[in-house]
Amino acid sequence: MAVYDFKVKNIKGKEEALSDYAGKLLLIVNTASKCGFTPQYDGLEKLYQEYKGRGLVILGFPSNQFLAQDPGSNDEISSFCRLNYGVTFPLFSKTDVRGETADPLFKFLSDAAPFQGFELDKEMGRKIQSVVKEHYPENLEGNGIKWNFTKFLVGRDGEVKARFEPTVTPEELKPIIEAAL
């Protein structure tokens, strides 16, 4: 099974086959509009603008599962991203990314790229681990997504290559993306 086997709903609610992105390098990110990591939208858009001509596509999946940090409608989320961060990369409908209600795509991604831990050498890594431990201690178990802005790099062949936790910034991904392109 590959990422291309999945269908998802775009931000307008229309079903899209991820096979439409075959041959592209994908960065799949679960996002939120009211999170401490929300400014990463800016870095993600910059990556997209810099590398889309070489085959990178960023796919944003808003989720409201972590402290209700994306409570708006799909239209509100789309407007927020466009107006505040100039987002032009594809956005998808608000999606559950973990637990029993998780979209099958995110179950697949989490299984294909297991959780390796937070970057505890970074202040934000320690902070996010503390927040998850306080509010969602069950999230620390298993490979499910732990928080907003978890990123999955998917190769041109549709295979999951790597997982990056929220503290890994888009800027830090530049050399990894360049090597994968």
CB contact burial 50-78 (16+ within 10 A = b; e otherwise): ebeeeebbbbbbbbbbbeebbeeebeebb
Lowest average pLDDT, out of 9-18, 44-53, 102-111, 118-127, goes to 118-127
Active site residue 81: no
Strand 151-154 relative to strand 160-164, pairing? antiparallel
Give the CATH architecture of domain 3-180. 3-Layer(aba) Sandwich (3.40)
Give the residue extent of every domain in the chain.
Answer: 3-180
Instruction: List the catalytic residue out of 3, 8, 32, 35.
Output: 35
Q: Please give the average per-residue pLDDT across 149-163, as a whole number.
A: 97
Confidence of residue 21 (pLDDT cuts 50, 70, 90): very high
Check residue 93 and give its pLDDT: 97
Which helix or strand (DSSP H or E) is residue 105 part of? Answer: helix 104-112
> Measured between alpha carbons, how far is 50 from 174 in angstroms, rounded to an integer?
10
pTM of the model: 0.96
User: 95-111 pLDDT, tens per residue?
Assistant: 999 999 999 999 999 99
For the cut 90, the answer to whether the pLDDT of residue 1 exceeds it is no
Q: Tens digit of pLDDT for each residue in 118-144?
A: 999 999 999 999 999 999 999 999 999
Residue 94: pLDDT over 90: yes
pLDDT of residue 75 exceeding 90, the answer is: yes
Q: Which residues partner with 52 through β-bridges?
A: none
